[in-house]
């Protein structure tokens, strides 16, 4: 089946540093990818929709200058958490769907801990 690879799976960083998370669709092309954030024991909240070759669409309340999204190819989207602070600590998950397909596949997630 379709696979979405997400790296790294876990990252610990100091406050003020930037962290990049990669999301790759391994066996299909994805015009659109989605980035979610999940707090402990809570549901997934959509942060932004990543569109290949164009600017990402951010959900209300999500700072686009803090969460930089780049979707440079049909198989790769990156999320960069800039100047990370402890409140950015969370589980970040990406998802992708084959262009025109109905199935939406998820990466394995990235646990970010900011000290």
Partner 1 sequence: GEDVEQSLFLSVREGDSSVINCTYTDSSSTYLYWYKQEPGAGLQLLTYIFSNMDMKQDQRLTVLLNKKDKHLSLRIADTQTGDSAIYFCAERRGSQGNLIFGKGTKLSVKP
CA distances from residue 48 to 26, 31, 42, 72, 115 in whole angstroms, order as listed: 21, 14, 18, 15, 25
| Secondary structure (3-state) at 87 | helix
**Phi and psi at residue 112, in whole multiples of 5°?**
-100, 125
Q: Which is nearer to partner 1, 13 or 104 (CB)?
A: 104
- Shortest distance in whole angstroms from residue 27 CB to partner 1: 15
Interface pattern 45-64 for partner 1 (x via CB under 8 A):
-x--x---------------
Q: Which is nearer to partner 1, 9 or 15 (CB)?
A: 9
How many residues bind partner 1 (CB under 8 A)? The answer is 22
């Amino acid at each position: 089946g379709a696979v979405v690879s997400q790296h790294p799976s876990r990252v610990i960083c100091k406050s003020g540093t930037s962290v990049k998370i990669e999301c790759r669709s391994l066996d299909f092309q994805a015009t659109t990818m989605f980035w979610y954030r999940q707090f402990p024991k809570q549901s997934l909240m959509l942060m932004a929709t990543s569109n290949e070759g164009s600017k990402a669409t951010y959900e209300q309340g999500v700072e686009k200058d803090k969460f930089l999204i780049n979707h440079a190819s049909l198989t790769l989207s990156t999320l960069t958490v800039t100047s990370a602070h402890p409140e950015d600590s969370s589980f970040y998950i990406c998802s992708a769907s084959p262009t025109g397909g109905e199935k939406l596949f998820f990466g394995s997630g990235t646990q970010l801990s900011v000290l």
